[in-house]
Chains A and B, each alone.
Chain A
């Protein structure tokens, strides 16, 4: 089935090696201000997640109900939530959860999707037919519904939300990878290698994989944003992360909505955090695509 997705565009021409790939990316980031912005956002996010325990002024789980629903002040720059926990600290630690959810979900989903796509695309034949039909079947179930069903089966928790999101990612990824593999196979280098009698895994490693990494990374960076959003929606439906975990999605969908009028800061800050993170990942994906997709490079 030919649903076109921009990242699945195939690359003709000789395979570029890793070093110059990174160089073109760096050049793209420097050249386009939006690319710079996205890179900065992602770096900030990762650093916040890593150094959360240093950056956060308070324990994100320490409840002080006496100062509940306090508006932003010097002591609590983002205010306090419904049981007096410091929102800034929770947002900071929330970056860990979101990053963790995103990375794991996308990591598993991308890796599994890549394996399936590689196997499907390289060896084709009946295995390909069967695998692709299964992937198609999975894709006919709307993502949120599939995730909801899986989480309901596995019991609501952060980990299970991740697994559910990974399942949603796999089919699309596998299809993109398969497309990239199929086009890479047409490359004369591959034909030649096969003619010589090179082992399959060598061919895959040196000729196929490099072609595949670009679309995967682009997709992954966009899915990182989506994963955060899906987790937030699952929390809204009541089956995502569990209290008292400081996940942005849970903060936004439960206390953020409940106290929206009396304490808007409860929703503004986690909401901003989600938006900035998703924004950063999406923009970065755009930049990756602009950098690595030769067709889109502005000529002259």
Chain B
């Protein structure tokens, strides 16, 4: 029993903490058992910030400049070659996809994933879900810059893009399931798939499936130098490591929008500088990873508007080289999973606000967040059993291994070190940690030839269910960074994409979820999606689940306006 008061929420003074608890209302009751050190059944504490920003009731004002200090420099402008958020943060505004998800001012709630037409006006699937026909909007114009010069978008453009995606690069696995594309007329695209997929349109709605210009690829030989699209903004200036300036496209097909004239993204690699930029008014949108960071910001900048970015899934977890010993033995994986106290990570490192960790957005299979019990027997913290199981698997004295990671945010380093401690204490597994820079980490991890462990991820953009399951979990997929090959999962996810009935989909997804936790194929770790911070004069802000406004969900910024 600790001799002093364990602090679930780090704060500067006792008064602040009391104030926060008072405001949080019912959470005081929930936190009291926490203070006494007991385990809680709920996965997440409520925060004092809303996770939903209703659209503004006032008429929008036009003009003005939006700026944002960004951590990410785009590596390349070529959407075939990268999934990086560094590109999506503005490519989502310069370009469109065939279909999209709702913007913040048209969504019913934060998990509203009703497909809406972007370049397509309507679409239909054949009864066997192998042929998908999209009817394009008429009169959509490419940006009025050479060599497109504002010509109209036609079906042949879509066909060209998708064929290019299938040829090479990160999207190829998704687009290689296309058998052929017909364009019977200028505004109709008919796609034939090799195998049925009820969720194919969702794949096209992913933020990375943007439609790029054929002329640019043919003239330049690649898409690294110019990014021209049909979207609400055009690139006015792109100075590497300095800033990217987007200017309003006057011929955008969504008449009257966008509202803001110019959006500047300033390259700011240092976190302290980004925060300082927000505080001094040079940046309009900011992101903080933890509740305590948000509280701290609010104290010094009371006018800031903070929104909780709803956490529906985890992106990070403990990845094991499970195609080789010792991790190819499911007993070893289960033992490791039971030796890590994840609830404690949520309670302490995330101040109770993080989630326990699971890899598929929960709303795809149930209405409420999974409880600890639902995560299966091998998720529970049972160090004695873990030790027994590991001994059974042939490692009574543990073993040595390595773990490499990149510090995406400071809490991750805390988690890695706590896991190192847990495994050493409970299983005598010695982990040597390597903290790497982003490029070395990403390259080594994506290469898939590393040994030992990594603090791995699945790429953070996936919104659709098929992407989350089939594209990420099938043994043959190139996006399966976790290097597992499970025939049961293969079968389940293939069946899933052929199931049109919603209820059946949910049941199947739940089965995938259960199987994943049973086999410990991906060992998810606690996570907190964080908080978005807005300057008070922004309207129609509001980040929806899985679509963060400053990153992959940037397309919604076309509906943003400034009231100054």
Contact = CB atoms under 8 A, between A and B. Distances in A.
21 contacts: A63-B418, A63-B421, A65-B414, A66-B6, A67-B2, A68-B348, A69-B292, A70-B4, A75-B3, A82-B410, A83-B348, A238-B407, A242-B434, A242-B435, A243-B433, A243-B435, A254-B410, A255-B410, A257-B272, A258-B410, A261-B296
Contacts of B435: 156, 238, 242-243
Given A65-B414, A66-B6, 18 more contacts: A66-B37, A66-B344, A67-B2, A68-B7, A69-B7, A70-B4, A75-B3, A82-B411, A82-B414, A83-B414, A156-B434, A156-B436, A243-B416, A243-B417, A243-B435, A255-B410, A258-B410, A262-B292
B2 A66 contact: yes
A140 interface: no
A238 B407 CA distance: 9
A66 B3 CA distance: 12
Contacts of B410: 82, 254-255, 258-259
A197 interface: no
B368 interface: no
Interface of B: 2-4, 6-7, 10-12, 37, 271-272, 292-293, 296, 300, 344-345, 347-349, 407, 410-411, 413-414, 416-418, 420-421, 432-437
Contacts of B347: 65-66
A156 B433 CA distance: 10
Nearest to A156: B434
Contacts of A193: none
Contacts of A67: 2, 4, 6-7
Most B-side CB within 10 Å, residue of A62, A65, A242, A261: A65
A36 interface: no
Given A75-B3, A244-B420, A65 B433 contact: no
A65 B348 contact: yes
A82 B2 contact: no
A262 B296 contact: yes
A65 B416 CA distance: 12
A263 B296 CA distance: 11
A135 interface: no
Nearest to A257: B272
Interface in A43-84: 61-63, 65-70, 73, 75, 82-84
A99 interface: no
Nearest to B341: A65
Contacts of B4: 67, 70, 73, 75
Contacts of B437: 237-239
A260 interface: yes
Nearest to A261: B296
B293 A262 contact: yes
A159 to B, nearest CB: 12
Contacts, number: 88
Contacts of B436: 156, 238
Contacts of A263: 10
A59 to B, nearest CB: 10
Contact of A254 (B2, B407, B432): B407
B10 A68 contact: yes
A19 B341 CA distance: 61
A70 B271 contact: no
Q: 3 nearest interchain CB pairs?
A: A65-B348, A258-B410, A69-B10
A165 to B, nearest CB: 19
Nearest to B4: A75
A244 B293 CA distance: 23
Given A258-B271, A262-B293, A244 B6 contact: no
A254 B300 CA distance: 23
A205 to B, nearest CB: 44
A82 B37 CA distance: 18
Contacts of A257: 271-272
A243 B413 contact: yes
A84 B345 CA distance: 12
Contact of B349 (A65, A156, A239, A259): A65
Contacts of A254: 407, 410, 413
B349 A244 contact: no
A73 B10 CA distance: 15
A83 B417 contact: yes
B273 to A, nearest CB: 11
Contacts of A63: 417-418, 421
A300 B416 CA distance: 63
A52 B407 CA distance: 29
Contacts of A61: 421
A83 B418 CA distance: 7
B413 A262 contact: no
Contacts of A237: 437
A108 to B, nearest CB: 23
A137 to B, nearest CB: 27
Given A239-B437, A244-B417, A83 B349 contact: yes
Contacts of B10: 68-69, 262-263
Interface in A230-276: 237-239, 242-244, 254-255, 257-263
Contacts of B292: 69, 262
Contacts of B432: 242
Nearest to B11: A262
Q: Which of A63, A73, A155 has the most CB of B within 10 A?
A: A63
Given A65-B344, A68-B10, A70-B7, A244 B2 contact: no
B185 to A, nearest CB: 54
Contacts of A73: 4
A70 B8 CA distance: 11
Nearest to B3: A75
A244 B418 CA distance: 10
Contacts of B416: 243
Nearest to A64: B2
A242 B436 CA distance: 9
Contacts of B12: 262
Interface in A193-249: 237-239, 242-244
Most B Cβ at <10 Å: residue of A156, A237, A258: A258
Nearest to A260: B272
Interface in A87-142: none
A84 B407 CA distance: 19
Contact of B345 (A65, A156, A238): A65
A206 B296 CA distance: 65
Contacts of B2: 66-67
Nearest to A61: B421
